[in-house]
Chains A and B, each alone.
Chain A
Amino acid sequence: MNLTHDLSIWLAAILTLFIFSFLYKDNPLYKFAEHLFVGVSAGYYIILNFWTVIVPNLWDPLAKAFAGQGTDPTRTGFMAAGLGDYRGWMIIPGLLGLLLFTRLFGRIGWLSRWSLAVIIGVYAGIKTTGFAQSDFVEQLHGSLQPLWTGQLATTVNTLIFTIGLVTSLLFFFYSREHKGALGVASRLGVFFLMISFGAGYGYTVMSRVSLLIGRFQFLLQDWLGIR
């Protein structure tokens, strides 16, 4: 055993043990670690976004634009914008960002809705096109497979896949009572869904156990120095 002399590792190890103490029961040490995390996170996110977003993506381009410069040296002028070189036009997103803070002042708080409208509109557009192309069209395309592939193993796989797909979809068909052939198919669909839930649960267990393993590896190797 070779205990570390690194103060930051000692701090992380002690906070890990504070959090683990919750497994016995709720206690002040756990509460302290939890509140410390929330407070530090809030400060960290504010500083991070200021230096990685506000300064390089808004402040710097605007400062350059006021000097008539941009990323494209062949053009000069405050509003001489091009693709990826927005210059003085960056005032508009800057203003929209500032309007979000009007929520702090009750009477003019409604102004923040303009910014929110832009955010919602842009994200709705981006998400819809991305989803339509990659999750709808591509997945539909990927689901259309030849049932006979010439090889027994892959043919059986394809058959299972196709039966699972069709019966699972039929389970979610609610316009008719699940009786007769539809009832049999939807019940078969439930089996496929249960298998997928089981696989999902198994993976979730693996993920959570990995977190515990990671913390134990940290405590054993980084803190206690046991290799």
Chain B
Amino acid sequence: MTHWLERLDRRWLFLMMGILVLLPLLFPLALPLTVSARVRAFHDGIARIPDGSTVLMSCDYDPGAIPELVPMTRTALRQLFDKKCKVVVTCLWPGGPGLVDNVVRGMANEQHRVDGVDFVDLGFKEGREAVMVLMGQGIANAFPRDYQGKDTRSLPIMRSVRDYSSFPLLVNISAGYPGTKEWVQQVQGRFHLPMVSGVTAVSAPEFYPYLQSGQLIGLLGGMAGAAEYEKLRGEKGTATRGMDAQSMAHVFVALCILAGNWVNWRRRRGAPA
């Protein structure tokens, strides 16, 4: 057995992983999902702002984060539009503006929201932390034109928007740098703007200290966080549909780790192959 495991071609593991992910997508298992406190806090953070407020939403990701971050972007936009909130969207990742615009417009069409009145996509701006600081001097200074090329200052939604003091909440959906860490450092800390965040699973552990200290009100971590958020909102999106596959893959990885450690333990004991 040990000998067989030691000589196993890793491509069999890839194939097994592929099958274990594919099957639950074709034949859902509907495994149970519980909503964690941090996800509930994200939801409640948005629920607490006054109806009709104008909210800043920065979607800092690119197509590599679609499975984890697009579902939470959609659900957050639905919750904001349900509260009749106006949404100012930005993107600080160069690979993201087209994707983010597509998601925002899709949600706006679904909820019958008008471009320039109920929402605006300001698109991408290079400069990372410098853009965040510049937005503190005036949102339109940093983004003179929106993603469509329209003069930002002429849009009805921007009449009530000056700088960060115009927003009761910052919703950040981020895949890395620049993202949640930089928004906390440059905006939450400096301008005391309450903030909720949705991040990729790989970066989530980095942000738990911010959650514990109250710098973040709520946190969605990866596809699981997105699925919990969907459950809380009574939606069944791509994150929920992907969680069965996620669970199966996790069991498989755990078994691989156990098998690898067993082989290593046997080898160290000098057991015959």
Listed in ascending order, the chain A residues whose CB lies under 8 Å from chain B are 23-24, 41, 44-45, 48-49, 52-53, 56-57, 60-61, 71, 83-85, 122-123, 126-127, 129-131, 133-135, 138-139, 141-143, 161, 196, 199-200, 202-217, 220, 226
**Distance between Cα atoms of A84 and B140 in the complex (Å):** 9
Any A CB within 8 A of the CB of B166? no
A-B contact count (CB 8 A): 153
Q: Which residue of B is nearest A85, CB measured?
A: B141
**Distance between Cα atoms of A131 and B64 in the complex (Å):** 28
Q: Report yes or no: B221 in contact with A122, Cβ–Cβ below 8 A.
A: no
**Distance between Cα atoms of A71 and B21 in the complex (Å):** 54
Q: Which residue of B is nearest A60, CB measured?
A: B144
Q: Report yes or no: B189 in contact with A216, Cβ–Cβ below 8 A.
A: no
Q: Report yes or no: B11 in contact with A23, Cβ–Cβ below 8 A.
A: yes
**Distance between Cα atoms of A138 and B209 in the complex (Å):** 10
Partner of A71, one of B130, B153, B209, B242: B153
Q: Report yes or no: A52 in contact with B144, Cβ–Cβ below 8 A.
A: no
Q: Which residue of B is nearest A200, CB measured?
A: B205
The 7 closest A-B pairs by CB, nearest first: A142-B213, A214-B67, A130-B185, A134-B189, A207-B202, A84-B141, A207-B201
Q: Report yes or no: B222 in contact with A206, Cβ–Cβ below 8 A.
A: yes
Q: Which residue of B is nearest A196, CB measured?
A: B205
Q: Contacts of A212 on B, CB cut-off 8 Å?
A: 17-18, 21, 249
A-B CB contact pairs (8 Å), 16 listed: A45-B94, A48-B97, A52-B125, A71-B140, A139-B209, A142-B213, A142-B215, A196-B205, A200-B205, A203-B222, A205-B249, A206-B223, A210-B201, A213-B67, A213-B242, A217-B67
| Given contacts A49-B94, A83-B137, A211-B64, A216 and B190 within 8 Å (CB-CB) | no
Query: Assuming A83-B137, A213-B246, what are 19 further A-B pairs, CB within 8 angstroms?
Result: A48-B97, A49-B94, A52-B123, A56-B144, A71-B140, A84-B137, A85-B141, A126-B129, A126-B133, A130-B182, A134-B184, A143-B213, A202-B250, A203-B222, A204-B201, A211-B67, A214-B66, A214-B242, A217-B67
How far apart are A87's CB and chain B's nearest CB, in angstroms? 13
What 1/0 flags go to B88-104 for Cβ under 8 Å of A?
00000011010000000
Q: Report yes or no: A126 in contact with B186, Cβ–Cβ below 8 A.
A: yes
**Distance between Cα atoms of A226 and B241 in the complex (Å):** 13
**Distance between Cα atoms of A122 and B186 in the complex (Å):** 13
**Distance between Cα atoms of A204 and B221 in the complex (Å):** 11
Q: Contacts of A199 on B, CB cut-off 8 Å?
A: 205
Any A CB within 8 A of the CB of B45? no
| Given contacts A127-B129, A210-B222, A213-B242, A142 and B67 within 8 Å (CB-CB) | no
Q: Contacts of A209 on B, CB cut-off 8 Å?
A: 21, 245-246, 249-250, 253
Q: Contacts of B153 on A, CB cut-off 8 Å?
A: 71
**Distance between Cα atoms of A213 and B17 in the complex (Å):** 11
Q: Report yes or no: B221 in contact with A141, Cβ–Cβ below 8 A.
A: no
Q: Contacts of B127 on A, CB cut-off 8 Å?
A: 53
Q: Report yes or no: A217 in contact with B241, Cβ–Cβ below 8 A.
A: yes
Q: Contacts of B182 on A, CB cut-off 8 Å?
A: 130
Any A CB within 8 A of the CB of B84? no
Q: Report yes or no: B21 in contact with A205, Cβ–Cβ below 8 A.
A: no
Q: Which residue of B is nearest A143, CB measured?
A: B213
What 1/0 flags go to B235-267 for Cβ under 8 Å of A?
000100110011001100100000000000000
Partner of A49, one of B126, B130, B140: B126
Q: Which residue of A is nearest B13, CB measured?
A: A23
Q: Which of B143-192 contact A (CB under 8 A)?
A: 143-145, 153, 182, 184-186, 188-190
Q: Report yes or no: B68 in contact with A207, Cβ–Cβ below 8 A.
A: yes
| Given contacts A134-B188, A134-B215, A139-B213, A206 and B129 within 8 Å (CB-CB) | no
Any A CB within 8 A of the CB of B49? no
Q: Contacts of B107 on A, CB cut-off 8 Å?
A: none
Any A CB within 8 A of the CB of B214? yes
Q: Contacts of B253 on A, CB cut-off 8 Å?
A: 205, 209
Q: Report yes or no: A133 in contact with B22, Cβ–Cβ below 8 A.
A: no
Q: Contacts of A48 on B, CB cut-off 8 Å?
A: 94, 97, 124
Q: Contacts of B25 on A, CB cut-off 8 Å?
A: 213, 216-217, 220
How far apart are B46's CB and chain A's nearest CB, in angstroms? 22
Q: Contacts of B204 on A, CB cut-off 8 Å?
A: 203
Q: Report yes or no: B215 in contact with A138, Cβ–Cβ below 8 A.
A: yes
**Distance between Cα atoms of A113 and B222 in the complex (Å):** 41
Q: Which of B15-70 contact A (CB under 8 A)?
A: 17-18, 21-22, 25-26, 64, 66-68
Partner of A130, one of B17, B64, B95, B190: B190
**Distance between Cα atoms of A200 and B153 in the complex (Å):** 43
